[in-house]
Amino acid sequence: SQQGEEDPQALSIQEGENATMNCSYKTSINNLQWYRQNSGRGLVHLILIRSNEREKHSGRLRVTLDTSKKSSSLLITASRAADTASYFCATGYNTDKLIFGTGTRLQVFP
Amino acid sequence: DSGVTQTPKHLITATGQRVTLRCSPRSGDLSVYWYQQSLDQGLQFLIQYYNGEERAKGNILERFSAQQFPDLHSELNLSSLELGDSALYFCASRDPRVAGELFFGEGSRLTVL
């Protein structure tokens, strides 16, 4: 069964707007990661947040983690058409058996 | 380019057949992971190898098997193929000295007719 579930399943926005995706998971984790997948391509790692961290930034990405609620969010600010992709959260303890969520499909219109 | 190489990129075969998917991890990465991505199932973890040994097992069918060789490349064998096995199969590798990040290949797209 999936460890993480993203919400929403699909999101459409205009360029320049912010995109927020949420991830919920079920069991205790050591870290949570976000990946991006362009259509039919391999996944690319975006950011990792450890269980003792609450927020992390990388460029236009901001990730939060709330271990009490077993949830995380990914914010992409000032989105661009090139951000169009599927975004997945992944959880694991020591990353063995890293489990991916169902993904959010983001469409950014120029 | 992630440094992880998967072959073949595309494969079309018939039900009941057997195929082998190959993965070469990034230079120096000891861990290899296999994932299956189909439209209705998302990304499913199949199996992980570390330096030739099976480390973790996920939702891998008995018809599927994998191994990691001494040169660290890995093969995923799929037998008695069914229509439902049509999917993208991804290999990923990881440097055990760096927490977390997986590097994915571009996948092998299997179509079973």
Q: CB distance A99–B92 less than 8 Å? A: no
Q: Which residues of A are less than 8 Å from B7 in CB distance? A: none
Q: What is the average pLDDT across B12-21?
A: 98
> For residue range B37-92, what is the model confidence (pLDDT) as tens digits?
997 667 899 999 999 999 999 989 999 999 999 999 999 999 999 999 999 999 99
Whether omega for the bond prior to residue B70 falls within 30 degrees of 0, making it cis, is no
Q: What is the average pLDDT across B8-35?
A: 96
Which amino acid would we find at residue A60?
R
What integer pLDDT is reported at residue A21 of this predicted model? 97
Q: How far apart are CA B87 and CA B76, in angstroms?
A: 13
Q: How far apart are CA B103 and CA B101, in angstroms?
A: 7
Q: What percent of chain A has pLDDT over 70?
A: 94
Q: Which residues of B are less than 8 Å from A102 in CB distance? A: 42
Q: What percent of chain B has pLDDT over 70?
A: 97
DSSP state of B8: -
Q: Which residues, listed in sequence order, are joined to residue A25 by a DSSP beta bridge?
A: A4
What is the end-to-end Cα distance of chain A in Å, rounded?
36
* pLDDT at A1 exceeding the cut of 50: no
Q: How far apart are CA B70 and CA A108, in angstroms?
A: 45
> Tokens standing for B20?
């082998």
Numbered residues of chain B with Cβ closer than 8 Å to any chain A Cβ: 2, 4, 33, 35, 42-43, 45, 48, 55-58, 88, 90, 92, 94, 99-107, 109
Q: Which residue has the tokens 């193929």?
A: B81
Q: How far apart are CA B32 and CA A14, in angstroms?
A: 38
By C-alpha distance, the chain B residue nearest A104 is: B42
Q: CB distance B43–A88 less than 8 Å? A: yes
CA distance B6 to chain A (A): 10
For B83, left (φ over 0), alpha (ψ -120 to 50), or beta?
alpha
pLDDT-wise least confident of A3-17, A42-56, A63-77, B24-38? A3-17
CA distance A30 to chain B (A): 9
> For residue range A61-105, what is the model confidence (pLDDT) as tens digits?
999 999 999 999 999 999 999 999 999 999 877 656 788 888 999
> Tokens standing for B76?
């995923």
b/e code B19-44 from CB counts within 10 Å (16+ = b): bebebbbbeebbbbbbbbbeeeebbb
Q: How far apart are CA B110 and CA A65, in angstroms?
A: 36
